[in-house]
Structure 1
Amino acid sequence: LVGFPGEAQLHLLVAGTLLPVLVRRRSLCRVLVALASWQELAAAFSSRSAAIVDQMGAKLQRALAQSLCLAAGGMAGPKASQAYVTYLMESTAAALGAAAASRDLASIASRAGDA
């Protein structure tokens, strides 16, 4: 994701400022979740693509996750919203569960503290 000068700052601006503003209104969320580009972003986040996991810091990943999940308010109903959020967070929850089950949890925690 960091391919040209200023791209990291652009990601910070988009994930930290633009997306949180867009997902405040349900009518905009309806439009967002229907966009192919939003669906591609959601798929990249859901699959924990290397571009997101490796290139974006934890703070940006959390901001992106929050915006993607808040957009669920634009889904057709509660079941669709729940399915959408589950789709988004399933792989992250699985990775967190695997880390928690690891016998080397202290080492993982110390590496996270260094980041």
Structure 2
Amino acid sequence: GARSRRDARLAARSVANSLLVKTAINGQDPNWGRIMMALGKSAAAVRADRVSVAFDDEVVVAAGQLRQGARLDRAREIMARPEFAIRIDLGLGRGEDQVWTCDLSEEYVRINAKYTT
């Protein structure tokens, strides 16, 4: 968990709003470095050496590093689903939050770049 609910929300929103995380989701790329980057740029208290990251139940990061035995192929399968969770534990307390996000595709950019409002 995070140090507080506020920190949990700040961290979650930073990950959810990251364009690099959104494009990784679209490409079914369990790029944990992008998640760590988004956490690091958030205003939440973060200690990289305490962070764990899982895609649904597949833990990819433990203690801020790629988990030994992490099954990235399994994480990719999970990311191919219409919905999945990115579960992040900052390892600093009991603060929790949940946010929803979506991917960002080339098609979305192309469609939205072609019109004015």
TM-score, normalization by structure 2: 0.26
Which one has the bigger strand percentage?
2
Which one has the bigger helix percentage?
1
